[in-house]
Every structure is written in C-alpha cells, then in structure tokens.
Amino acid sequence: MPSLDWIKEIELDDILSGDVRLIADSCGLDVLIRLWEECPSLSLYISTVPLNEARRRYIRRHYNGSNAKELAARLGVSDRFVFGAVASPQPPSLRGDQGGSPSLRDDKGGRGNAERQGQKGLFGQENA
C-alpha cells in the first residue's frame, strides 16, 4: 500500500468517528496512519488480561509487606487486587508447565524415568 502521509494535508474532523477517532485523539494521527498502512480493515480488541498479569508480576516483585496502598495507587488497582496478587502463585501458562502434569522428559531433554522403566507412555503403549 502506498504511503498515506497525504492524509495530513486535509481536514479530518468531520470524517473520523468511533474507534478511529479514539485512536487519533489518544495516540495521534501518525499512529492512526501507521495502523491504516500496516493493518487495514483489522478488527482490533485489546485485552486487559496481559495488563493485569503484568500488574501482578510488578506487585510480586515490589511488594515489601507494608506498601500495598502505594502499589495499588501506582497501578490503578484496589488493595484487594494487590493482596490477591501476592497470595496467588504465578499462573501455569507463565511458569512454562502444562497444567501441572508430570513431564515425560527429564531436564536435559532426554526420556524421563517413566519411559526408561518400561511404563506406559502417553497413549498407553509400552515403552522399551
């Protein structure tokens, strides 16, 4: 797609509405033009799930036992959110495991003990 820099030369106030207006007002016309150039017709949903997990990670790293109110204010969350983040373990998807199932491979990438001892593998077949 050719450059859309020509858009800067015309009045857009009466054309922009909805999400496009929000992007232009919040992020600037250059960001809107870049999105049009790189992602035309893209329907975009920006989830807050990663943002909340980033908040939890920040809290776990910076909580010292007495700064819950300060962390809550800085991150724009409640005290309860802070205490919940400290009390909850890191989610499995971020730990690298797959829901707590024991691995059939050892830490070095080889076959784990279950496979070496001739026990049944994932699909019920005997391992040599």
Q: What is the pTM of this model?
A: 0.58
In a domain, 120, yes or no: no
53 and 87 co-located in one domain: yes
The radius of gyration of the chain's CA atoms, rounded to the nearest angstrom, is 25
pLDDT tens column, 61-106: 999 999 999 999 999 999 999 999 999 887 656 554 444 444 444 4
Query: Do 28 and 56 have their domain in common?
Result: no
54 and 86, same domain (yes or no): yes
Q: Would you say residue 43 lies in a domain?
A: no
With 80 as the cut, is the pLDDT of residue 112 above it? no
Say how far apart CA 128 and CA 116 lie, in whole Å: 7
**Tokens 């491979």 found at:** 105
- Count structural domains, the chain: 2
Phi, psi of 109 (to 5 degrees): 90, 0
Residue 126 three-state SS: strand
In-domain check, residue 114: no
Query: The domain spanning residue 65 has which CATH number?
Result: 1.10.10
Residue 100 in any domain: the answer is no
